[in-house]
Structure 1
Amino acid sequence: MIKYMCHLIETIKVSGKQFLNIACHNGRMNHARLKLFGNSDKIDIAQSVRIPADLGEGVYKCTVTYSRNIVKAEFSLYSIRKIRSLKAVHCNSIEYEYKYADRSLLNSLLQQRMGCDEIIIVKDGKLTDTSFSNIILYDGSNWVTPDTPLLKGTKREKLLREGFISEASVSMSDLNKFDKVSLINSMLDPGDIIADCRNILA
């Protein structure tokens, strides 16, 4: 097995001084540790990372950096970005199956947003993710998420499991079938950030 010398991250929502959706984060982290480093032992983030006693009552982002083991955990107060427009950026070579700490390629793609607030990455003609989230699209009746995500996010997996969203193949030519796009990740619920699909610049 190839041993990758790299750092990965888990970004976890903390509310009421509690980790949210922690089982999904533990599962993804331990899967990555097994596949990339050969570590078969299980780490429980909630047991390994202490939430600071002086943390306020707001919503916080906990960023856990790890490789074979947890390297560090950082807490920061979270606020939702305002995103109204998105630029479709094409990149067929991108791979982001694991949540690497190195975001240099994602950041370089973000520089191509041409005045828009954020990007949607298109790979092999299919919609994938933004630079920091999965996406779901509303067709007037149902929420759909592309079946070609770069990263299978924990919130995406939770919403699929609960039946709130379904997967579908979505290409750029399919965008006219949808009214709205919402960005989701561990910190964002459906509806927290919504943009009109007419504001997606091809």
Structure 2
Amino acid sequence: MLCFETICVENRQWKNLHYHEVRLNKTRRELWGCSDNWDLAKLLDIPSQIDNSTHKCRLAYDKNIDNIRWEPYSIRTIHKIQRVYHDEIDYRYKYDDREALNTLFAQRADADEILIIKKGLVTDSNFCNVAFFDGTYWLTPATPLLPGTQRALLLDQGMIRPAEIRESDIVTFQKIRLFNAMVDWAHAATLDVSLIA
């Protein structure tokens, strides 16, 4: 069983590397009993062919690094979100095996993205954490499937606040925003909640 980190590189600079390092080392401790802490700045090099545009570094690992893949990144356009339901899904760790998530994503009909509801609670989309705007604050589900690195940064900065958000609460909000390691707060897709089917 592998896990992975998706790390953003812009202008040949790592973004939020500390947050990836914290999550990766926590995962290695909890899944494989590793006692050493990896220093990603020392372990990873940005290849010479990577230019100043945005790139995704995908690091797959278990006790050791399994593989590292690089690819250019462009932000997906999201116009509509489909609610999907799974009461047992478990994605506490960023598993390389995304079969359960892919199955849910296949249920999106004509939507571009999904919003996963677990036991009545809002969690995440397929690739992003989410936040809802109530007119004053941006609230993020206290029950994400995966606590993302961008989410951790935004919580530390006070940009978002954790809250229990039930499916029935969605209509009380104005907007939803989707963000992840590759899509920071300023560039995150923001939709009216009426576009959640």
Q: TM-score range by the shorter chain?
A: over 0.9
Decide which of 170, 176, 181 is 2:171's aligned counterpart: 176
| Unmatched segments (≥5 aa) in structure 1 | 1-5
Post-superposition offset of 1:192: 2.2
What is the letter of the counterpart of residue 84 of structure 2? V
Decide which of 186, 193, 197 is 1:197's aligned counterpart: 193
- SS of aligned partner of 1:35: helix
What is the letter of the counterpart of residue 192 of structure 1? A
The residue that corresponds to 1:3 in the other structure is none
The residue that corresponds to 1:186 in the other structure is 181
The residue that corresponds to 1:136 in the other structure is 131
Post-superposition offset of 1:43: 0.9
Matched, 1:65 2:60: yes
Distance across 1 between alignment mates of 2:194 and 2:184: 22
Post-superposition offset of 1:31: 0.6
Structure 1: 4+ residue segments shifted above 2 A = none
Q: Across the two proteins, how many residue pairs are aligned to each other?
A: 196
Distance across 2 between alignment mates of 1:23 and 1:181: 27
Aligned-CA RMSD value? 0.9
- TM-score of the superposed pair, with normalisation by structure 2: 0.97
Post-superposition offset of 1:200: 0.4
Bigger Cα displacement from structure 2, 55-64 vs 170-179: 170-179
What is the letter of the counterpart of residue 47 of structure 2? P
- SS of aligned partner of 1:51: coil
What is the letter of the counterpart of residue 191 of structure 2? A
The residue that corresponds to 1:101 in the other structure is 96
Post-superposition offset of 1:108: 0.3
| Unmatched segments (≥5 aa) in structure 2 | none
Matches within 5 A, 1:48-63: 48-63=43-58
Post-superposition offset of 1:18: 1.3
Post-superposition offset of 1:175: 1.1
- Asked if 2 retains the 8 angstrom alpha-carbon contact of 1:15 and 1:59, the reply is yes
Matched, 1:17 2:15: no
- TM-score of the superposed pair, with normalisation by structure 1: 0.95
